Amino acid sequence: MKVTILGAGPGGYVAAIRAAQLGAEVIVVEESEVGGTCLNRGCIPTKALVASAEVLDKAKKAKDFGLELSGEVSANIQKIIERKNKIVGIQVKGIRGLFKSWGVRILDGRGVITGPGKISVTLKDGGAEEIETDKIIIATGSRPAQIPIFPFDGEKILSSTDALNLEEIPKRLLVIGAGVIGCEFAFIYKEFGSEVTMVEMMPKAVSTEDEEISAVLERELKKKKIKLLTNIKMEKIEVKEDSVQAFLSDGKTIEADKVLVSIGRAMNSENLGLESIGVKTGQRGEIIANSRMETNVDGVYAAGDVTGGIMLAHLASKEGVVAAENAVGGDSAVNYDVVPAAIFTSPEIGSVGLREKQAVEKGLKVRIGRFQFRALGKAHAMGEIAGIVKLIADEESDKLLGAHIIGPHASDLVHEAALAIEKGLTARDIAHMIHAHPTLAEGIMEAAEDVHDSAIHMPKK
Amino acid sequence: MDPENLKYHKEHTWVNISGNKATIGITGYAQESLGDIVYIDLPELETSTEANTELTEIESTKATASVISPVTGSVVEVNEELSDAPEILNEDPYGKGWIAVIEVEEGADTNDLMDASDYEKYLEEEVKLK
């Protein structure tokens, strides 16, 4: 059984290894670098920058912790990028090592489908290779979407990829789009020393999150003196020699040194030869796949960002696994009900399951438990007291429907709730389990208690 | 501001009305219950606000609390000092800890506000005993 995979990002490389584990002969075609967006231009590099920003933030507050720091602490963007590149390099090597170990063949080049079971690859080093394959998995991912009237120029109008490779810290940074990516970069560059202004079309920042979480994040943006303008569209941008002038829909003008456009991502489904075999795509260019990751064409699967939907690396990986298992003759499907999300703003956000509004829209009766991080001794000891844990439980069954956390280590803490939702556990189940003290995880336990107004560390309501 | 001459809202904000301008802040009781205040989300100028609704939020090491507007109108001045030194709210809630000046909407009702002795009584009888 021969499986050829287009794309070696978190969807593709994971599918490749799974298919190899199941005994298939696997070829992966990658036009850029293994690890895809996640490893090279997304998840990992931004976390490296976030780590640098965190250390800088703590260093600036050293006095609060009783420490004497002499001299100034500042961000050296070249060294920060160097560190980031080193980390990415280690991971890339790791994936290529895994391919070798599992016998996956990697072709560095661009693959195009030319007919049923036929892929034509133009190799990076020159030359070409024609592949005949039994099954195809398309995992070509996505790229930063640009605003047509002011496209990326890598100089003044930046994509998230550009923002990960800057040679100097912009004095004034304008961020268009206050979603996950925009917000993460806003905190990073503010910490490095930029003056940051954000413009968002929707009424709230990170509008994909529960409203209470957005509200806390907006307050945290304000605390850091990051200006956020919501319900505003960008009408025009004028690129001058030394600056950029942005004209907003409310008549105001903003001047900046660099503009980061983070309005979403576009699917990489063009020029893949999809028409040659009739693979159906949707309105936004997304390849249409069902929960078994099958496209409308027999033997052709798709996984990850290129299928649209929630664009998260871990979902791409799960879809890759399912695609691979099905390609090799299995019978798997993806459960989209429990997909945790992690946002590396400051403080972090971790969420899973239904938002309160979604639960209400579905006609569900819910009980909500909330607990503030500032009520936890651990949070105070750490010096990170901002944030809340919000749990949503079904009123009748007490089963956990959603968990929304903003605060220190939220990205890790959310998984206790994710497991609870996956296994149909109740708020009482979480409240009954002993949580170690002093930890941030106790906040989950207390929020679970609060669902029934019995949190010990909250005053009587 | 002399606390004796101020008006009070049951949600523990004080008001000093002079002409159509109302200076507001939080009371001694409020800052004491909150504990060490670490942040106040100062309202934007020209924000319109309605009496009995949240004007802004305060964060202390213990809790987050709403600052309820005692009057209806529009924010014309804001105490920027509180931005970098929120502890002033604890240290001098009636003086340097003033939060904002609101231009009161014409015809707005300010009769629900208590005077100093009524507020004292309110604290003794209704709040502190709870």
What does the pLDDT look like over A222-232, one tens digit per residue?
A: 999 999 999 99
Cis peptide before A203 (omega within 30 of 0): no
CA terminus-to-terminus distance, chain A:
63
Catalytic annotation, residues of A: 437
User: Would you call A222 and B57 a contact, using CB atoms and an 8 Å cutoff?
Assistant: no
Q: Which residues pair with A400 in a beta bridge?
A: A393
The partner residue sitting opposite A385, judged by closest CB among B41, B57, B61, is B61
Which residue, among B34, B37, B38, B47, would best test binding to A if mutated, counting the most A CBs under 10 Å from its CB? B38
The two structure tokens encoding residue A69:
């720091």
Q: Which residues in chain B have Cβ-Cβ distances shorter than 8 Å to A380?
A: 61
Nearest C-alpha neighbor of A258 from the set A342, A192, A328, A335: A192
Q: Domain of B35?
A: 3-127
Q: Please say if the pLDDT value at position B112 is more than 90.
A: no
Q: Averaged over B75-100, what is the pLDDT?
A: 96
Q: Do A386 and B59 touch (CB under 8 A)?
A: yes
In sequence order, which residues have a C-beta less than 8 Å from that of residue A318 and are 6 or more positions away? A334
CB atoms within 10 A of CB A65: 9
Question: What's the full length of chain A, in residues?
Answer: 461
Tell whether B111 lies on the interface with A, counting CB pairs under 8 A: no
Residue of B nearest to A387 (CA): B64
Would you say residue B130 has pLDDT above 80?
no
Q: How many CA atoms lie within 13 A of A384 on its CB side?
A: 17
Residues A198, A231: Cα–Cα separation, whole Å = 11
Candidates A232, A315, A314, A305; CA nearest to A265 is: A305
Tokens of A298: 């027999």
Window from A217-226, A391-400, B80-89, B106-115 with minimum mean pLDDT = B106-115
Q: What is the pLDDT of residues A127-141, one digit of tens each?
A: 999 999 999 999 999
Interface mutation vs chain A, best among B37, B39, B56, B58, most A CBs within 10 Å = B39
Strand, helix or coil at A342?
Answer: strand
The first and second tokens of residue A263, run together, are 């309005």
d(CA A348, CA A354): 19
Q: What is the pLDDT of residue B125?
A: 87
Average pLDDT over residues B28-40: 95
Size of interface A-B (CB pairs under 8 A): 18
The domains of chain A, with CATH numbers, are 2-144+266-327 (3.50.50.60), 157-263 (3.50.50.60), 347-450 (3.30.390.30)
CATH of the domain at B37: 2.40.50.100
Phi, psi of B63 (to 5 degrees): -160, 170
Give the integer Cα–Cα distance in Å for A186 and A164: 12
Does the beta-carbon distance from B64 to A372 stay under 8 Å? yes
Q: Is B64 exposed, middle or buried (0-12, 13-18, 19+ CB in 10 A)?
A: middle
Q: Distance (Å) from the C-alpha of residue B61 to the closest C-alpha of chain A?
A: 6
Q: What percent of chain A has pLDDT over 70?
A: 100
User: Which tokens sit at A14?
Assistant: 């994971």
Please state the rounded mean pLDDT for residues A391-404: 98
Question: Mind telling me how many Å the CA of A407 is from chain B's nearest CA?
Answer: 14
Query: What does residue B18 show for φ and ψ, rounded to 5 degrees?
Result: -135, 105
| Structure confidence at residue A207 as a pLDDT band (50, 70, 90) | very high
- For residue B38, list chain A residues with Cβ-Cβ distance below 8 A: 385
Percent of chain A, pLDDT > 90?
98
Residue A139: the pLDDT is: 98
φ and ψ at B68, to 5 degrees? -90, 130
Note whether A305 and A265 are within 8 A (CB). yes
Where would I find the H helices in A350-408?
356-361, 377-382
Distance from CA of B9 to the nearest CA of A (A): 21
Q: How far is CA A267 from CA A43, A55, A264, in A?
A: 17, 35, 10
According to the model, what pLDDT value does residue A445 have? 98
Task: Note whether A374 contacts B63, CB cutoff 8 Å.
Answer: yes
pLDDT tens track for A340-385? 999 999 999 999 999 999 999 999 999 999 999 999 999 999 999 9
**Interface membership of B77 toward A (CB under 8 Å):** no
Rounded CA separation B52/B29 (Å) = 18
For position B111, what pLDDT does the model report?
72
d(CA B64, nearest CA chain A) in Å: 9
> Biggest alpha carbon distance in chain B?
39
Residues of A in contact with B61 (CB under 8 A): 374, 380, 385
pLDDT per residue over A403-459, tens digit each? 999 999 999 999 999 999 999 999 999 999 999 999 999 999 999 999 999 999 998
Instruction: State what percent of residues in chain B have pLDDT above 70.
Output: 98
Q: B63 vs chain A: nearest CA distance in angstroms?
A: 7
Q: Any idea which of A175-179, A195-199, B115-119 has the lowest mean pLDDT?
A: B115-119
DSSP lists the bridge partners of residue B28 as none
pLDDT of residue A421: 98
Mean pLDDT score of chain B, rounded to an integer? 92
Beta-carbon separation of A223 and B62 below 8 A: no
Q: What is the pLDDT of residue B127?
A: 76
Q: In this predicted structure, what is the pLDDT of residue A136? A: 98
Query: How far apart (Å, rounded) are the C-alpha atoms in residues A287 and A137?
Result: 11
A381 contacts on B by Cβ (under 8 Å): none
ipTM over 0.90: no
Number of structural domains (chain B) is 1
With a CB-CB cutoff of 8 Å, which residues 198-227 of chain A face chain B?
Answer: 219, 222-223
pLDDT(A334) > 80: yes
Tell me, what's the pLDDT at B108? 75
Cα A349 to Cα A244: distance, rounded to the nearest angstrom: 31
Supply the mean pLDDT for chain A: 97
Determine if residue A223 is left, alpha or beta; phi over 0 gives left, psi from -120 to 50 gives alpha, anything else beta: alpha
Rounded to an integer, what distance in angstroms lies between the CA atom of residue A304 and that of residue A316?
Answer: 4
Q: What is the mean pLDDT of residues A6-19?
A: 98
Identify any residues that bridge with B56 across adjacent strands, giving them in sequence order: B67
- Would you say residue A163 has pLDDT above 70? yes
CB of B59 less than 8 A from some CB of A: yes
Among B40, B44, B58, B59, the residue to mutate for chain A (most A Cβ within 10 A): B59
Provide, as residue numbers in chain B, all residues whose Cβ is less than 8 Å from the Cβ of A219. 41, 57, 59
The dihedral sign for the CA sequence A32, A38, A43, A44: negative
Instruction: Name which of A385, A389, A457, A458 to mutate to probe chain B: the one with the most chain B Cβ atoms within 10 A of its Cβ.
Output: A385
Contacts of B85 in chain A (CB under 8 A): none
Touching check for A375 and chain B: CB below 8 Å? yes
pLDDT in tens, A35-74: 999 999 999 999 999 999 999 999 999 999 999 998 889 9
Mean pLDDT on B12-30: 94
